[in-house]
Structure 1
């Protein structure tokens, strides 16, 4: 993935400094949450999703009703969304949680639910009983799951280090607490009679009071994000961050078709009572925000006066598609710009299609598909100019490789991550040597901007002032 930056110092050629942007009329842009955040399969019905809703916080978990005709979705701020026959019993969406909500579980009656926050806090609504929490404990790692007992008279909490905490009539049958585990735990699932299984992010499964059916390391192209049990407890499904589902034991091979937008990952899995249906849930895309504490490796294409060269952040930018872009490109690229608007606070408007060889107007990012070298998936060429505020990006041209066989989506086998990488260059990011970052010099697995990438985007953003 190549990038180039051409810094044109206008004062050297006697030209006047460009002070405004030439922006094309705005067209209807794809919503950042335009794709459904829910995918049913088997006997699971489609009861709706948060597509099109302005989420203040991304979704983190799902719980199905006892009838299988509805579900609740939980957001990280404690907001609860109901669909089908799921009834609303309250949320913490209007409170400032000390730690984000991580996991949710429903009562057997369907008239209440619990959710757990990362600090071990437990919140109860409807007929869900409160039996204590881990909020007062000195946790080594955050809580990532909650599992109620069959009676509803207690629950287990599990932390990412494998520690298990029991409350009410939940019996302790083992944990990984105090052990050096290779990867963090991401969820737990029940077995009838009081046992449970824990799963880590690469697919290792740890059984306590349940038969060991084998792990599924390497089964996911991305990370494992959730686990759900079959009704008998002799099987389970694992959810991959890419939206794929893997089955083991007597769990039937069900494959929800979850299409993820830019910035989304699959995060929640729920089953129907008959065990013949599944819902896979995507995280959705939250509204614009900036994390002042995030850090990690990042680099910039150009630096002037100690600050990275960036776009004029308080003026709108236009994005355009090259005329010969494939069918479906407008949705794919529109989602990417909507996602970047949330990450950076920059304003992007769709300027329609333009010839691939046409001169680039000031303030425009053009995306197209063309023939590149066999080993090259994309490239970005950015230009900068002098303005009254100092050097600023002028325009950027992104070329994605044609006929690569990559799907028009944001999975690990899609062109979406390549597009996001090149858009990182278009905004001013350079390559880094860390393969865990999307801005690594070669395609290495990430499908989204990671900590270092986001730290760099923060400095290029409108959140950093004009």
Structure 2
């Protein structure tokens, strides 16, 4: 599905990892900061649960990936891009939010580049009949809140969300615990993104990610509002939101009392979308 170029790229990355060469040569290999959050479940009413997983990625070779230039190189070359969508206003009102990751020695969140489209692919195997509508609405809700632009680019038969390349579209799929152990019990979904750090320093950013949803949970659920809330919650994790203790927020560990983004969620999402272009 992804073509011969990506297969060659993945093979190169595999060999580089085996030789432990990428980090030494370019400083952007498998980025795994010591503060990476652990895997932990979150629950939603009716014992339907959500889970955030923060992953790491292996970046490709510098000459193949010009987007990993340090920010200052873009300044020198005059290649700084412009935002695709306007910055969103941060809503006024009560509500908490948290970020999965922040820049080193800073409160600024790690986020996607607001000047690049976030491409999304769906693996339809085992997905509910309305899977495209669920994903499309989650993309729209998250885009409206962040000012990040998503694009559904098609379907894929890939399922290896734990071995993605930085050029892969975001992967959305439905699975079960036999394939994804973290879906055991009452866990209804996983969401997270992979981040890189530019050569020579600069701001970390997310480059791709995944949303994995529990096939059996979606088959049993009859509430469209809850089903959409689960997908939206995982898209919140995808773009960088963490859990909160505030039950008014969709990003509450148990899913909250509302099945749509609350004021706190919206404030955090607006902040994630307001970062500078990379």
| TM-score, with length taken from structure 2 | 0.62
**Partner SS for 2:62:** coil
Asked which structure has the greater RCO (Cα within 8 Å, sep 6+), the reply is 2
**Is the aligned partner of 1:16 residue 2:65?**
no
Counterpart residue number, 1:274: none
The residue that corresponds to 1:335 in the other structure is: 137
2:146 equivalent in structure 1: 344
Once the two structures are TM-superposed, the CA of residue 293 in structure 1 deviates from its matched residue by: 4.6
Distance 1:328 1:4, change over 3 A: same
Q: 1:393 maps to what in 2?
A: 206
Match of residue 31 from structure 2: none
Change (3 A) 1:8 1:400: closer
Which structure 2 residues correspond to residues 41-52 of structure 1 after superposition, within 5 A?
none
Query: Per the alignment, in what secondary structure is the counterpart of residue 53 of structure 2?
Result: strand
Asked whether the 8 Å contact 2:248–2:258 carries over to 1, the reply is: yes
- Whether 2:111 is the aligned partner of 1:313: answer no
CA deviations over 1:93-115 (Å, ceiling 9, x no partner): xxxxxxxxxxxxxxxxxxxxxxx
Contact (CA 8 Å) 2:250, 2:258: kept in 1 or not? yes
Query: For 1:299, which of 79, 92, 98 is the aligned residue?
Result: 98
3-state SS of 2:238 partner: helix
Residue 402 (structure 1) shift: 1.1
For residue 8 of structure 1, report the CA deviation from its aligned partner: 4.7
Alignment partners' CA distance in 1, 2:52 and 2:268: 16
Show the counterpart of 1:417.
Answer: 229
The count of corresponding residues between Structure 1 and Structure 2 is: 194
The residue number in structure 2 matching 1:381 is 192
Superposition misfits of 4+ residues, deviation over 6 angstroms: none
Superposed displacement of residue 338, structure 1: 1.8
Structure having the larger proportion of residues in strand: 1
Q: In 2, distance between residues paired with 1:393 and 1:330? A: 24
How far apart are the structure 2 equivalents of 1:374 and 1:401? 10
**What do you get for the CA RMSD once the two structures are aligned?**
2.6
Contact map agreement 2:102 2:109 (CA 8 A) in 1: yes
Q: Does the 8 A contact of 2:141 with 2:232 survive in 1? A: no
SS at match of 1:291: coil
CA contact (8 A) 1:323 1:356 kept: no
CA distance in 1, matches of 2:156, 2:223: 20
1:38-95 CA-to-partner distances (Å, cap 9, x unmatched) read: xxxxxxxxxxxxxxxxxxxxxxxxxxxxxxxxxxxxxxxxxxxxxxxxxxxxxxxxxx
Shift of residue 333, structure 1, vs aligned partner: 0.7
Residue 265 of structure 2: aligned partner: 453
Contiguous gaps of at least 5 residues in structure 1: 22-286
8 A contact 1:322–1:367 mirrored in 2: yes
Give the Cα separation in 2 of the matches to 1:353 and 1:441: 30
Picking from 211, 215, 221, the partner of 1:402 is 215
TM-score (norm 1): 0.38
CA distance in 1, matches of 2:170, 2:131: 15
Evaluate the alpha carbon distance shift between residue 331 and residue 440 of structure 1 in structure 2; reply closer, same or farther with a 3 A threshold.
same
Instruction: Work out the CA distance in 1 between the residues paired with 2:61 and 2:211.
Output: 27
**Partner of residue 442, structure 1:** 254
